[in-house]
């Protein structure tokens, strides 16, 4: 079953074509990576899919619905979640409050003004589960901005999974991490995806990781798709090697 599909998706800024006629089809349960050199349009593609920017042209279908032009929060409500390349957690709130905000989004009482936020027990339980999954359950009441960088990156992912997504878009989840953290983070993502049963769309620079975790890989260059396939096929693809990898794999 296809969970995400784009049809000649295009974004132009004046004369600059950031995303060029992209056709993407992601199956449910898959871990799909998107790779490409800097400026290939990866983050812009994420912005278009999540509704943070409107496309110039093309359609996006998510989970059977056309979501083109829909507001980003509406798309999120349908089960699409994302993390950001530059950590964007709620620094002034505690770790628990961070995930609680994400977890209460599906609760009918999410905009109640008179209840105690900590009194929503299902939300609280769900949030604690997420903290346990990302390994921060030992410090739920610490302010997010007081965490070390690596832990904030984990919280970044925790926020994105706490609202029970069907599709999770991860924008360089390991950016700035050492190799040890990188590995453990990626294992965490794989585990979360399996346990919580969501599809992953991943932007990642570290090609070793990409090759290890991905079911399929899409390669972008200058906004357009130049190759797509399972890791092995991409590794062997000459176009990719020439245009982007510059013989790294050889």
Binding positions for other proteins, rule: CB under 8 A: 13, 16, 18, 39, 43-44, 47, 50, 52-53, 71-74, 76-77, 81-82, 84-86, 88-93, 97, 100-102, 104-107, 109-118, 120, 123, 143, 145, 159, 163
Question: Shortest gap between Cβ of 183 and other proteins (angstroms)?
Answer: 25
Do residues 41 and 16 lie in contact, with contact meaning Cβ atoms separated by under 8 Å? no
Q: Tell me how far apart the alpha carbons of residues 97 and 101 are, in angstroms, rounded to a whole number.
A: 6
To which H or E segment does residue 121 belong? helix 121-134
In terms of CB distance, is 101 or 225 closer to other proteins?
Answer: 101
Residue 198 C-beta: closest distance to other proteins, Å:
14
CB of 233 to other proteins, least distance (A): 28
Q: Which is nearer to other proteins, 98 or 185 (CB)?
A: 98
C-alpha distances out from residue 100 to 37, 109, 190, 206, 235, Å: 36, 13, 22, 31, 41
Smallest gap from Cβ 149 to other proteins, in A, equals 13
Q: Which is nearer to other proteins, 215 or 222 (CB)?
A: 222
The dihedrals phi and psi of 22, each to the nearest 5 degrees, come to -85, 125
Nearer to other proteins, 3 or 76 (CB): 76
The residues, any chain, with a CB within 8 Å of residue 204's CB and separated by 6 or more, are 33, 35, 170, 172, 173, 174, 210
């Amino acid at each position: 079953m296809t969970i995400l599909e784009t049809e000649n998706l295009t974004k132009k800024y004046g004369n600059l074509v950031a995303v060029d006629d992209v056709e993407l089809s992601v199956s449910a349960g898959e871990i799909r990576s998107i790779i490409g050199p800097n400026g290939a349009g990866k983050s812009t593609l994420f912005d278009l899919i999540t509704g943070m920017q409107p496309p110039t042209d093309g359609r996006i279908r998510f989970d059977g619905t056309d979501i083109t032009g829909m507001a980003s929060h509406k798309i999120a409500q349908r089960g699409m979640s994302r993390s950001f390349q530059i950590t964007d957690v709620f620094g002034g709130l505690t770790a628990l409050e961070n995930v609680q905000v994400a977890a209460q989004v599906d609760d009918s009482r999410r905009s109640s003004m008179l209840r105690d936020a900590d009194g929503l027990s299902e939300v609280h339980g769900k949030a604690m589960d997420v903290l346990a999954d990302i390994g921060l359950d030992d410090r739920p009441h610490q302010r997010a901005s007081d965490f070390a960088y690596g832990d904030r990156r984990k919280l970044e992912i925790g926020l994105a999974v706490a609202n029970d997504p069907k599709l999770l878009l991860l924008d360089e989840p390991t950016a700035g991490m050492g190799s040890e953290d990188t590995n453990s983070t990626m294992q965490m993502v794989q585990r979360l995806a399996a346990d919580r049963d969501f599809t992953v769309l991943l932007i990642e620079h570290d090609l070793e990781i990409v090759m290890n975790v991905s079911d399929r890989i899409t390669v972008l260059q200058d906004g357009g798709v130049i190759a797509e396939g399972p890791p092995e096929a991409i590794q062997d693809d000459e176009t990719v090697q020439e245009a982007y990898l510059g013989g790294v794999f050889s």
